[in-house]
Amino acid sequence: MKNLRKIVSVVLACVLMMSAVSALADKVTLKVWGSNDDQKVLGELIEEFKAANPDTEWDISLGVVGEPDARARYQEDPAAAADVFAFANDQLIDLVNSGALRRITLNLDQIAAANTAGSIESATLDGTLYGYPKSADNGYFMYYDKSVFTEEDVKTLDGMLKKANEAGKKVFMDLSNGWYIASFFLGAGGQLTVDENGKQVCDFNNANGLAAAEAIKAFAADPAFLTGDDSVLVGMFGTTIAAGVSGTWNATVIAEKLGENYAACALPTFTCGGEQVPMASFIGTKVVGVNSQTAAPLQAFQLAEFITNEAAQVKFFEQRELGPTNIAAASNPAVLENIALAALSAQGVNGVSQKLVLGGYWTPAEAFGLAMENKSTEDLQSLLDKMVAQIVE
Amino acid sequence: MSANINTSAQGKRARKIPHTDEHRPKFIHQLANGGAETWLSAIIFGFGSFVNGQIIKGLLYLASEVGFILFYLTFGWGYVKDLLTLGTVQQGWVFNEAIGIDELAAGQNSMLILLYSVLTIATLVPLFMIWRNSVKSSYLAHERKLAGIKQPTFLKDVKTLLDLRYHMTLMSLPLITLTLFTALPIIFMVAIAFTNFDATHQPPGKLFTWVGLTNFRNIFFDNPKYKNSFGGILTWTFIWAIFATVTNYLLGMILALMINKQGIKLKKLWRTCFVITIAVPQFVSLMLVSRMFADTGIVNETLKNWNWIKDPIKFLTDPTLARIMVVIINMWVGVPYTMLMTTGILMNIPADLYESANIDGATAYRQFVSITLPYMLFVTGPYLITTFVGNINNFNVIYLLTSGGPLNQNYYQAGDTDLLVTWLYKLTVDRSDYNLASAIGIIIFVIVAAFSLLAYNFTGSVKKEDQFS
């Protein structure tokens, strides 16, 4: 009888202790959003994060929301959105304006020192850092086939088109896409910024813009010009297409298609009002932010920092060929030897931050590009005026 | 003997408290004649039932009243009190030195205020019904007491749900779900049309508020961008709906006629061939076709390889061609359905009509115009209207084929093949302009409802309902 009582009391004590322990280490629940391609790496990083922080009981779930869709999906229901999510930095203004992001206050100096100045700037608005730079790959440059073009040919667009026409090949660029077509306008000195009231400012319809538009029109009318989406580029590179404007995400496939003829370089110059002007490009970064509505901000910051640190960026480079923003990771010899990333950083000289492009820019710019591809006979100036009127709202 | 039964039955009925609708006294009458407990029942739910011995019933009424009051105090009022402004406190931040991060000073969320206010106000309906029933049962209990009839037990009351009031048992679940999942969201979304809930007023950081009819004024008059887009897209929506409906209808019927024609062999095989297109999910075939007709799609590439063309034909990127293409591709998707449906009806047309027409020497065309078509229009009038309305809102075909493109520089966020409904989708999903989208939704509803009602009343099937011939 006495034994039984002892056993019962021991069992009870154990139960009490266990419940006390589990109450102390209360579970931290976090949700992470990343793109479909990043899922594997993110999953590994989350496991590493859990292992590195064994004192807390973690419940971290991973959802598929690509960086381009982050803003739209966030706004559907901020409270149900991920605590930690990756987004393309052109959504920064919209996200900050809708109060979606927590500003970063912890380890500010270390983060600023560890990443390239440009990438920190890309996640900063009015002097406040709103996210951890994850990769600097949101830009485009020229892939080309070495058997068709020499290094001299790819310096000018005219040279490329001439060579392509001779070889019966195509030069690919998705002109009916605001992201790519901006290359000409920005190269010609066009301004796409935001004024103090948060409205988009765009001067693509001035004399410089008109000169750029003339160049676009000529390019679109060239027999060697080809447009389409990524599937066209990837599908026809090496056969019909000899050169194409795209970004790092297509590097692996294009390298495979071209074999030893695979090459990439900065965008060429184009003839703008009789002069050779380098084509500019949008340079964007992918950034990891922390949801303002998160219940566990400290831990969310911790996790966001972890999945963007040097080791994580090396991992992203190794498995996904994403260009690091982390200075130490970027100086990794493998990164330096990467042809696509080298071309991207060469293009960086003429890069324009995509941060100040508001959501209203894309559709009108696409419509203009489409008019060019369709060889519209309408007056260029009036087409430009219409586009700008739509962009500036 | 039989008379005896009759009288006794009548006697019973006369003594019984009136229970059915035709005898039910008006509400005022109930209050006036229900005694003091009925008056009290209007304030304290179930009081009358309680004092007349229906304890459980009374307690249930009381519990629901308490429940409602608690709901309003703890939840509902917190939102409804801000309904007029939709919130005034914005989200803010307070820096916490100790842990080195900002603490969230949560602000109000206009969307939740609107949503839960709609919900709270909607609960007034069940509250009113319970209040009304509380008075009524108190009155009935009072009447029974005066007449010296035993009050029915709670169990007996519940049992009537399976018998006398079976309709309530059957209808309550559909009614509740319909209200919760259809009616309330619609009210909420209609309300958004009168706010400035757009891309620059997004929760949780920003509040939005009521702006009256501004959105409608912008669409119709004030904002040239919206006005142009709306006018252009509305016109195309109607052109599309007319063409899509008429072509599918006529071609489907002609196809069915051809297959039905005497002397055609392998009828079942032909029919199966066309029905197979139904077996492939619509969105799969539409996506495939959209790839096929792309500038670098299989059609253009093949034509190029045959040296028929040098530049790709811009099937889906040239405004006019794209509009023609969506109508044609829609035929391919829709004709089999019409064919299937009309096959059955065509077989029902009396054969003697055609026989006499043949004797009179009428041509096949004449027979089609004078016999087949009038008969078909008579039978399928309502079907045509629903198809037309369905085509006005035919999201799938347009969105999957062209996504509304090619984009039009004169339109706000829209292209040349965009219907109102796909434009609405882009405004919500791509631009977060919920207010504009909601206003457009209301306008679509008005157009569609007005058209359907008018057209329906003009169809032969309604006007000459009795003379089916």
Summarised one tens digit per residue, pLDDT across range A143-165 is 999 999 999 999 999 999 999 99
Residue A182, C-beta contacts closer than 8 angstroms, at least 6 positions apart = A190, A192, A280, A281, A282, A352, A365
- Crossing angle, helix B110-122 and helix B184-192, to 10 degrees? 140
CB contacts of B296 in chain A (<8 Å) are 226, 228, 232, 236
CB contacts of B429 in chain A (<8 Å) are 72
Chains A & B: contacts with CB separation below 8 Å? 102
At B165, list the tokens. Answer: 């009031």
Identify the structural domains of chain A with CATH numbers, from first to last.
29-136+284-340 (3.40.190.10), 138-283+342-392 (3.40.190.10)
Model confidence over B165-206: pLDDT tens digits? Answer: 888 889 989 999 999 899 999 999 999 999 999 888 888 888
CA distance B221 to A276: 46
Q: Among all residues of chain A, which has the CA nearest to that of B409?
A: A367
Model confidence over B74-108: pLDDT tens digits? Answer: 999 999 999 999 988 888 888 888 888 888 888 88
List the single range of A100-104, B151-155, B319-323 with lowest mean pLDDT: B151-155
CA distances from B339 to B263, B270, B375 (A): 19, 11, 16
Confidence of residue A29 (pLDDT cuts 50, 70, 90): very high
Residue B48 bridge partners (DSSP): none
Torsion sign (Cα): A331, A334, A340, A342 = positive
Residue A1: helix, strand or coil by DSSP? coil
Instruction: Provide the percentage of residues in chain B whose pLDDT is more than 70.
Output: 93
Q: Report which secondary-structure segment, H or E, holds A314.
A: helix A310-320
Q: Within an 8 Å CB–CB cutoff, is residue B382 touching chain A?
A: no
CA distance A295 to A121: 28
Model confidence over A198-240: pLDDT tens digits? Answer: 888 999 999 999 999 999 999 999 999 999 888 889 989 988 8
Model confidence over B212-262: pLDDT tens digits? Answer: 999 999 999 998 889 999 999 999 999 999 999 999 999 999 899 888 887
pLDDT score at B238: 95
**Do B86 and B114 contact (CB within 8 A), yes or no?**
yes
CB contacts of B295 in chain A (<8 Å) are 227-228
**Do A248 and A264 contact (CB within 8 A), yes or no?**
no
**Do B425 and B398 contact (CB within 8 A), yes or no?**
no
Strands A241-246 and A141-145: antiparallel
State yes or no: pLDDT of B24 exceeds 70. no
> Taking residues A82-90, what's their average pLDDT?
93
Q: Among all residues of chain B, which has the CA nearest to that of A226?
A: B296
CA distance A98 to chain B (A): 4
- Hey, what long-range contacts does A185-191 have (CB within 8 A, 24 or more apart)? A185/A209, A185/A212, A185/A213, A186/A280, A186/A281, A186/A282, A186/A352, A187/A212, A187/A270, A187/A272, A187/A277, A187/A278, A187/A279, A187/A280, A187/A350, A188/A212, A188/A215, A188/A272, A188/A273, A188/A277
Q: Which ranges of B148-192 does DSSP label H, i.e. alpha helix?
A: 154-159, 166-178, 184-192
> Taking residues B444-458, what's their average pLDDT?
90
Confidence of residue B464 (pLDDT cuts 50, 70, 90): low
Model confidence over B334-358: pLDDT tens digits? Answer: 899 899 888 888 888 888 888 898 8
CA distance B280 to chain A (A): 24
Confidence of residue A1 (pLDDT cuts 50, 70, 90): very low
Q: Among all residues of chain B, which has the CA nearest to that of A297?
A: B101
When the pLDDT of each residue in chain A is averaged and rounded to a whole number, the result is 89
What's the one-letter identity of residue B433?
D
CA distance B274 to B266: 13
* Chain A interface disruption, residue of B409, B427, B428, most A CBs within 10 A: B409
DSSP A104: P
pLDDT score at A90: 87
Model confidence over A41-50: pLDDT tens digits? Answer: 999 999 999 9
Buried/exposed B261-280: b ≥16 CB within 10 Å, e otherwise: eeeeeeeeeebeebeeeeee
**Do A176 and A373 contact (CB within 8 A), yes or no?**
yes
CA distance B166 to B79: 37
> Taking residues B146-154, what's their average pLDDT?
88
Q: Within an 8 Å CB–CB cutoff, is residue A301 touching chain B?
A: yes
CA distance B296 to chain A (A): 7
Say which residue, A290 or B275, is predicted with more confidence.
Answer: A290
CA distance A225 to A231: 16
Q: Within an 8 Å CB–CB cutoff, is residue A290 touching chain B?
A: no
At B329, list the tokens. Answer: 């591709």
- C-beta atoms of B101 and A297 within 8 A: yes
State yes or no: pLDDT of A383 exceeds 50. yes
Confidence of residue A18 (pLDDT cuts 50, 70, 90): low
Domain ranges in chain B?
Answer: 16-192, 214-463
CB contacts of B95 in chain A (<8 Å) are 105
pLDDT score at A195: 87
Angle at CA A301, nearest 5°, toward A298 and A307?
A: 140
CA distance B310 to A123: 47
Angle at CA B408, nearest 5°, toward B407 and B414?
A: 65
pLDDT score at B15: 47
- C-beta atoms of A226 and B296 within 8 A: yes
Model confidence over B306-342: pLDDT tens digits? Answer: 999 888 898 998 899 999 999 999 998 889 989 988 8
The Cβ-side half-sphere exposure at B81, using a 13 Å CA radius, reads 9
Confidence of residue A12 (pLDDT cuts 50, 70, 90): low
Residue B29: helix, strand or coil by DSSP? helix
What is the distance of C-alpha B17 from the center of its chain? 42
CA distance B83 to chain A (A): 20
CA distance B182 to B165: 25
**Do B189 and B441 contact (CB within 8 A), yes or no?**
yes
CA distance A141 to B351: 72
Instruction: Provide the percentage of residues in chain A whose pLDDT is more than 70.
Output: 94
Confidence of residue A2 (pLDDT cuts 50, 70, 90): low
At B104, list the tokens. Answer: 């969230």
**Reported ipTM:** 0.78
Model confidence over A266-280: pLDDT tens digits? Answer: 999 999 988 999 999
CA distances from B159 to A139, B18, B60, B64, B155 (A): 72, 19, 16, 20, 6
Least Cα distance to A249 among A284, A217, A220 occurs for A284
DSSP A146: T
- C-beta atoms of B409 and A78 within 8 A: no
CB contacts of A237 in chain B (<8 Å) are none
Model confidence over A173-194: pLDDT tens digits? Answer: 999 999 999 999 999 999 998 8
CA distance B1 to B269: 71
Strands A275-278 and A200-202: unpaired
Provide the 10 A C-beta neighbour count for residue B468. Answer: 9
pLDDT score at B59: 92
CB contacts of A65 in chain B (<8 Å) are none
From B101, B200, B412, residue closest to A390, measured CB to CB: B412
pLDDT score at A83: 95
Confidence of residue A8 (pLDDT cuts 50, 70, 90): low
pLDDT score at A3: 61
pLDDT score at B194: 96
Residue B345 bridge partners (DSSP): none
Q: What is the pTM of this model?
A: 0.81
Q: Within an 8 Å CB–CB cutoff, is residue B102 touching chain A?
A: yes
When the pLDDT of each residue in chain B is averaged and rounded to a whole number, the result is 87
**Do A89 and A95 contact (CB within 8 A), yes or no?**
no
Strands A128-129 and A124-125: antiparallel
Buried/exposed A284-299: b ≥16 CB within 10 Å, e otherwise: bbbbbbbbbbbebbeb
State yes or no: pLDDT of B143 exceeds 70. yes
CA distance A136 to chain B (A): 25
- Greatest Cα pair distance, chain A, in angstroms, is 105
Confidence of residue A75 (pLDDT cuts 50, 70, 90): confident
Helix/strand number for chain A, H first, E second = 18, 17
The Cβ-side half-sphere exposure at B451, using a 13 Å CA radius, reads 18
CA distance A389 to A386: 5
CB contacts of B407 in chain A (<8 Å) are 176, 363-364, 366-367, 370
State yes or no: pLDDT of A131 exceeds 80. yes
- C-beta atoms of A105 and B430 within 8 A: no
Choosing among 3.40.140.10, 1.10.3720.10, 1.10.357.10, 3.40.50.720, the CATH entry for B214-463 is 1.10.3720.10
Report A:119-158 residues touching B (Cβ under 8 A): none
